A and B are shown apart, each in its own frame.
Chain A
Amino acid sequence: MAKVVLVTGVSRYLGGLLARRVAAEPGVERVVGVDVIPPPHPVPGVEFVRADIRNPMISRVIESSGVDTVVHMNVIATPTFVGGRTPQKEINVIGTMQLLAACQKSSTVRRLVVKSSAAVYGSTPRDPALFTEDMDARRTPSSGFGKDSIEVEGYVRGFARRRPDVDILMLRLANVIGPRIRTSITDYFSMPAVPVPLGYDARMQFLHEEDAIDALVLGTTGDATGVVNVAGDGVVTVLQAVALAGRPAVPLPLGSASFVGGVTRRLGLADFSPDQMSFLAYGRGLDTTRMRDRLGFEPRYTTREAFEAFAATLGSQGPGLGSVVDAVSGVAGAASQSVLTALGAGSVR
C-alpha cells in the first residue's frame, strides 16, 4: 500500500540505506527523504528535502508530496553525532512531536513506522531474561537515549489514540551493529582496551545492520502493526564480545563508571550515558516471537554472527593481545599434539 514514503533522518546511515531500499521496492512510487543535512552519499531514487523535523515546515512537505507512509528514523541513539545530549534530546523528542503533529494534520498519511529501541526496557538486575513487548521496564530509564525512546513511544501512543485510522508499527530494535554502522557500542568495542564493569558479565543482543534494514523495509511495505521487538537470535556476554573483538578487557568497579565514562568521552573514544552503563552491567534480552509471527521477519544473522561481522572490521590492536592469543593457541595445539604423541608412544611401549 505504501506509494509515497517519507523517511526522516535520511542522511544518517540507516536512514539512507532504508530510503534506498524502499525506493527499490515494487509499488513504491516516490520516496521523500528528509534531514537537516544532505546525505553524505547520493541516495538513488530518493528525493531529498532539506528540512528539520523540529520545524512545522515538515507538515508542508507531507502535504505537498501526498505522503501516505511515514518512516521515522530520526531517533538518534548516539549523542556524538549530533553535537551532544541537548540537540540529541531535542531532535528525538521535539522532532517526534512535530512530525506526529504533521502526521495528525495530514489527510494522506495512512501508515507510520517508528524506529524505536530496546532501550525502553531499561536494564536492571531484576529484569526477566527476555522482554516481551507487553512488559514494561522494571526501572524506567531516567536519562539518555532510553528516556528519549520512552517519550517518543509515549507520543506515538498519543498519536495512535487521536488518529486510530493510521496504522502504526513501532520496531524496538536491539543494538544495531555491523561492519559499517557506527554507534556508541561500536565505539566502545573499538577502544584499544575495553573497560568492563568488574564482577558483571551482562548479556547483550545485537541486530545486524542488514537485518535492521530488512526489518524496517518489511515494516514499511507490509501491514504489520503494533509494537515488535527486533533482535538477532541468542546473546553474547560483554566479556565474550570483548574476546571476540580481540581486545583486552579492563575490569573496573561499577562505581567508577561515571568517571571512566567521562574520561572516555573527553578522549573522544566512546560516549556513554548512565543507562548504557547499566546496560553494560546487567544487559538485556528481547523475546522475538512476535517479530516472527506478526512481522514475518527472520533475521539472517544471529547476535553472535552480527557481532563477529563487526569484529572482523576492527583494525589490529596493540601487539599485546594478539600475541597472547596466538601463544595460547599455539601452546594448546602443541600440548595436545605432544600428548597425542606421548600417548601413542606410551601405547606402543
Chain B
Amino acid sequence: MAARPGALAAGAARAGGERARRRSTPLIGAEPVAAAPVAVTTSATSKATPAKKATPAKKATPAKKTAPAKKTAPARKAAATKKAAPARKAAAAKSAPAAPAPVASVRKHRPAPRVTSAPSPRATTQAGERTGAGRLTPREKARRDAAARRPQLRVADPAAPRRRAARPAPPAPATPPAAAPPLAAVPPLDPTTASAPGRSGLPVPDLADVLDALVVGLRVAAEAAGVAPEDVERRVAQVLAYLRRRVEGDYDVDDFGYDEHFTENVFYPMLRPLYRHWFRVEVRGIENIPAEGGALVVSNHSGTIALDSLMVQLAIHDEHPQHRTMRALGADLVFQTPFVGTMARRSGSTLAASEDAARLFGRGELVGVFPEGFKGTGKPFSERYKLQRFGRGGFVSAALAAGVPIVPCSVVGAEETYPIIGNMGSLARLLGLPYAPVTPTFPWLGPLGMVPLPSKWIIEFGAPIDTSGHDEGAAEDPMLVFDLTDQVRETIQQTLYTLLMQRRSVFF
C-alpha cells in the first residue's frame, strides 16, 4: 500500500534525531508522575498511548490516510502536546473500532500505561516466534510488515495438538532367522517408488537395475569365497537398513544415553571377534545373574585400557538366557573424553554416582561396577591379580539402599593383555591422564603396540550376595558397608586365585 510515504515519515523522524532520542529515554516514569490511578478501562476507552519507540513512524502516514478525520484529530492534538510522533496514536485509533474517548487524549502525564493490544510489526521480530519460512528478503519483510499492520489480519490459533503415529517397534533381535526383520524396518518395497518422488525431487537413477547387478556380483563373490550367498545378502540388507534408520534419526535413546540400536548393531558386533576369537572368553556361573530385576555386578578391573568391562558386558549379553544389558558405571574421565565418553554412554554406561546407580536400580537394571577404578587398570604387571582398594564402598551402599543382590565377578586374562612394565608419569600429567603405560610393545611398536596380547580369558560370576535382609538405614551404616565391601572383595580375590590355579597357561 503506501510504503513510500511511510518510509518518508521514518526518514524525517530519523533526520530529526527523534528516533535516537526516544530510544535513549526510559520508557515510563521518565517524567514526574502524579499518582495516576490507572483506570480500569475497557478496550474502547484505553487510547492514551505512550508513544515512545520510533517504529510506528512508518505507520504514520497510511494510518492517517485511512482513519476518519475525527479519529486523527485527537491524535494530532496529543502529538502537539507531547512532541511525539502521532504514529502510535493513529495506529491505536485505527485498531480500535469504537470512537476514541477524549479523556485519554487530554491526559497530561505520559504514563497512562494502557492500550488495547495494538499489533506492532516490530514486535513480530522480537517475539521469539518463527514465521514459518526462513530468512526473509527485505521486500518480503516489508510486505509482511504491511500485512501485519492490517488489523483484520489475525494469526490463527496454534494448531490443535496432534500426536505423531507411534514409532516402529525397537530394533530387530540380533540374530534374525531370515531377512524379515530388516524388511520390517523398510516400509517401501518398491525401490522406484521409494526414491523417485523423493524429498528433494532430484532424479534418482533406477536403483533396481543397479541393485540387481550388485546382488548378482555379490552372489558370485560370495560363492567364490565359499560363503552362503544368502548370508551375505542378508548382511548387506541389514547394514543398509541400519544405515537408513541412523540417517533418519529413527532410533531411541534412553535417559542415560543408552542407544540400543547402535549397541546391538555396531558395538557388540565390533567386540565379538575380539571376544570369541582373540580372547576366547570362557564364562562360568552366568546363572548367578538374576533373570530379571536389579542386581549389581562387581568385578575386578585390569588391563590398562578397560577392555574387561566391555568383555563382561558382552559376556552377559551373549551368554545370559535373557540377554541382559549390563549398565556399567564409569569414571568422570571417561565421560570427559571425546569419542570414548560418547561411546560409553551409547553402549549403556553412565557416571559412577549414587544418583545414577539408584535410578538404574529403580528401573530394575543390571548395573556393573569396577570399584578398583584406575588403580586397578594402571597397576604394574608385577601386582597382577592383586585387588586394589575398593573405593569407598559407595557401590555397596547403593545396592543396600536398593536392596539388590551383589554378584561378584572375577576376570582372569585381562591382566596379560597389556602388561604394564613402566609408567611415563610426566607424560601422563601433561595429558591429564591417570597413567601413561609402557608395555613390552607400546610405545615401541607405535600403533601396532596397541594390539592386545591374545591371552585366554575366564570370566566367573560368583553366587549373589543378598542385601535385602537389612533394615531401613542400613545403607548409612558405615560398618555394615565396610563389612560387605570386604566380603565382596575377598570373594573376588579368592575366585581369582582359584581360577589362576586352574588355568593351564596364559595364552591357552
Chain A interface (Cβ < 8 Å from any Cβ of B): 11-14, 16-17, 30, 33, 36-43, 46-52, 55-57, 60-61, 64-65, 78, 81-82, 125-130, 132, 135, 179-183, 186, 190, 197-201, 203, 209-210, 234-237, 239-246, 254, 268, 282-283, 285, 300-301, 304-305, 308-309, 313, 315-316, 319, 322-340, 342-343, 346
Contact = CB atoms under 8 A, between A and B. Distances in A.
B138 to A, nearest CB: 14
Interface stretch (B99-107, B201-209, B465-473): B201-209
B286 interface: no
A333 B115 contact: no
Contact of A16 (B37, B111, B127, B161): B127
B345 A49 contact: no
A125 B341 contact: yes
B346 interface: yes
Contacts of A246: 199
Interface stretch (B317-325, B350-358, B419-427): B350-358
B198 A323 contact: yes
Contacts of B234: 339
A126 B334 CA distance: 10
A326 B215 contact: no
B27 A125 contact: no
B128 A12 contact: yes
Contacts of A268: 135
A33 B117 CA distance: 9
A51 B240 contact: no
Contact of A12 (B127, B202, B230, B259): B127
A100 to B, nearest CB: 18
A329 B244 contact: yes
A336 B215 CA distance: 10
Nearest to B353: A128
B248 interface: yes
A41 B119 contact: yes
Pairs of residues from A and B, 9 with the lowest C-beta to C-beta distance, nearest first: A199-B338, A243-B249, A330-B195, A334-B191, A322-B200, A332-B240, A244-B249, A322-B199, A40-B123
B338 A346 contact: no
B463 interface: no
B163 A305 contact: yes
Given A52-B27, A325-B247, A330-B195, 5 more contacts: A39-B119, A47-B40, A323-B198, A323-B200, A346-B230
A243 B248 contact: yes
B28 interface: yes
Contacts of B50: 50
Interface size class of B (residues with CB under 8 A): 35 or more
A13 B127 contact: yes
Contacts of B355: 128-130, 132, 135
16 contacts: A38-B120, A41-B154, A127-B351, A130-B355, A180-B130, A197-B338, A234-B253, A235-B257, A237-B257, A283-B257, A326-B199, A329-B248, A333-B191, A336-B186, A338-B215, A339-B233
Nearest to A201: B342
A333 B214 CA distance: 14
B503 interface: no
A336 B28 contact: no
B183 A336 contact: yes
B158 interface: yes
Interface string B95-126: 10000000000000001011111111111111
Interface in B156-214: 158-159, 161, 163-164, 178-179, 182-183, 186-192, 194-195, 198-200, 202, 204, 207-208, 211-212, 214
A37 B125 CA distance: 11
B381 interface: no
Contacts of B28: 50-52, 55, 57
B115 A129 contact: no
A210 B158 contact: yes
* Residue from A41, A210, A319, A339 whose CB has the most chain B CB atoms within 10 Å: A339
Contacts of A51: 27-28, 111, 113
A324 B247 contact: yes
Given A244-B249, A335-B211, A326 B190 contact: no
A57 B195 CA distance: 62
B124 to A, nearest CB: 4
A11 B123 contact: yes
A33 B198 CA distance: 46
B338 A198 contact: yes
B219 interface: yes
Contacts of A197: 338
A336 B240 CA distance: 9
Looking at A12, A128, A200, A322, the one whose CB has the most chain B CB atoms below 10 A away is: A128
B211 A338 contact: yes
B139 to A, nearest CB: 18
Contacts of A130: 255, 355, 359
Nearest to A43: B117
Contacts of B188: 329-330, 333
Contacts of A30: 40
A12 B253 CA distance: 33
A57 B113 contact: yes
Given A52-B26, A57-B28, A78-B128, A243 B246 contact: yes
B243 interface: yes
Interface string B62-91: 000000000000000000000000000000
A62 to B, nearest CB: 10
Contacts of A339: 179, 215, 230, 233-234, 236-237
A127 B163 CA distance: 32
A60 B34 CA distance: 11
Given A40-B129, A50-B49, A125 B332 contact: yes
Nearest to A347: B230
A326 B36 contact: no
A286 to B, nearest CB: 9
Contact of A81 (B128, B240, B341): B128
A332 B332 contact: no
B230 A328 contact: no
B38 A49 contact: yes
Contact of A300 (B113, B127, B163): B163
A279 to B, nearest CB: 14
A42 B113 contact: no
A40 B114 CA distance: 16
B336 interface: yes
Contacts of B53: 37
A130 B356 CA distance: 8
Nearest to B199: A322
B342 A182 contact: no
A159 B124 CA distance: 33
A57 B111 CA distance: 9
Contacts of B183: 336-337, 340
B241 interface: yes
A129 B179 CA distance: 37
A201 B200 contact: no
